[in-house]
Amino acid sequence: MDIHFEQVNFTYQPKSPFEQRVLFDIDLDIKEGSYTALVGHTGSGKSTLLQHLNALLKPTEGKVLIGDRVITPETNNKNLKPIRKKVGIVFQFPEAQLFEETVEKDIAFGPKNFGVSEEEAKVLAKENLTLVGLDDSYLERSPFDLSGGQMRRVAIAGVLAMEPEVLVLDEPTAGLDPQGRKEMMEMFERLHQEKNITIILVTHLMDDVANFADYVYVLEKGRIVKRGTPAEVFQDVAWLHEKQLGVPTAAEFAQRLIAKGVHFDSLPLTAEALADALLAQGGLAHDE
């Protein structure tokens, strides 16, 4: 399912004394099966933008095309559920959305809202709990007895159980330990590869962008200021530094090597790419 933004503008509390314009002429293209990253400063409008992806917010100008649905400022609030089923959003700190008595009920809550039967929802709950790396023994536990990381997993399982075609992740690893962070990102990558789920990732971590995304949008003050593949976007290191966005660790390190006279055909973005490039140059040369 493709998502397409056409000249989207958004203003909070329009025509009131507290009016605040957040998005300016956003054009966005998300192809089915792609892995798109949205980066930008806090307050650049990322979170507002992602609420447009499943019609939680409607543009104040312009239109959003989600699959075959068109969302315009005039769109009625009724009958948006089919969109919400197809586009699952994992919000920042999703553990705050847990409320049921047991983990199983909480995960099954989403599917049941979309008309899945009780039994099927239970099966989905079990499957998705395994998917996020927790075993069946957690099914009957109260979500409030779990650790923060486990709660996060349950919350994500709750979104995955709706079997969305598009998965929107708003800083899914914020506040997790490095191991949990790695596992989580690898899980999303697996879903992307195996189930061909379209992923939209909002993040501050340029390493994740370099490792996983195939397209990047850079937002600044509500405008898209750069777009392209990670290789294109991260090429301009000086520009990124100027915007205080940073570059992936590998690229940062490669920069230092360049300063010392090493030549790269293109700036390596991941540790593997960097290692490959160095090996190709006969990295062991000075051992002779």
Partner 1 sequence: MMNKLILGRYIPGDSLIHRLDPRAKLIASFYFIGIIFFANNWQSYLFLTLFTLGSIYLSKVDIGFFIRGVRPLLWLILFTVALQIFFTSGGEVYWRWGVFQLTEFGLRNGIFIFCRFVLIIFMSTLLTLTTPPLELSDAIEYLLRPLKAIKFPVHEISLMLSIALRFVPTLMDETEKIMNAQRARGVDFSEGNLVQKMKAVVPLLIPLFVSSFNRADDLATAMEARGYQGGEGRSKYRVLHWELRDTITIIAFVILTIGLIYLRN
Residue ranges that bind partner 1, judged by CB under 8 A = 12-13, 16-18, 51, 54, 56, 77-78, 81, 84-85, 88-89, 91-92, 94, 96-99, 109-110, 113-114, 144, 158-159, 162
Query: Among 209, 205, 197, 202, which residue's Cα sits nearest to residue 51?
Result: 202
Minimum distance from residue 252 beta carbon to partner 1 (Å): 33
The helix, strand and coil proportions of the chain, stated in percent and rounded to the nearest 5, come to 40, 20, 35
Minimum distance from residue 81 beta carbon to partner 1 (Å): 6
Decide: 125 and 117 in contact? Cβ < 8 Å: no
Cα distance between residue 188 and residue 193, in whole Å: 9
**Cβ atoms within 10 Å of 231's Cβ, excluding its own:** 16
Classify residue 208 as exposed, middle or buried by CB count within 10 Å of its CB (0-12, 13-18, 19+).
buried
Residue 14 or 73: the one with the smaller Cβ distance to partner 1 is 14
Cα distance between residue 288 and residue 286, in whole Å: 5
Residue showing tokens 């709990």: 129
Amino acid at 102: T
